[in-house]
Amino acid sequence: MNDKVTKSAAEWRAQLNDLTYRVTREAATERPFSHPGFAEGPGAFTCTCCGAPLFTKDEKFESGCGWPSFTAPAEGAGIDEHRDTSHGMVRTEVTCARCDAHLGHVFPDGPPDRGGMRYCINGVALDFKPDEPEG
């Protein structure tokens, strides 16, 4: 699943709804507290554009910021970080390494006992895949 995914703007528009396109392909941000949340139980969060694994449920925490927050990417996750100076701020943008989807930003204000990082990710950029039941 490490193959780079490259599509035209028209192909992405055909695959994604308007908000998801604007967030993942144009680096927009969904409104805080607008994402309905994710199912309970163990599982993984994948890129909504290409299906690449990004985060696990174990790393998710409630930060109160209005977007899904994680303390770290999943082991081996393909996440790239870039300096972002848009909107008069200096931040670190997080993108999917496989398809270059904008996911959100990472900040050094997460739980100190879990590494201190907060990956603040747009909910529309993620799909939740529950773990398969054993047996």
Least Cα distance to 92 among 109, 104, 101 occurs for 104
Write down the catalytic residue from 49, 96, 99, 120: 120
Indicate if 65 belongs to the active site: no
54: left (phi over 0), alpha (psi -120 to 50) or beta: alpha
How open is the CA angle 37-41-42, to the nearest 5 degrees? 110
Cβ count within 10 A of residue 38: 16
Least Cα distance to 107 among 78, 72, 80 occurs for 72
Dihedrals phi, psi of 37, to nearest 5 degrees: 100, -175
Q: Are 110 and 116 in contact (CB under 8 A)?
A: yes
**Residues identified as active-site:** 120
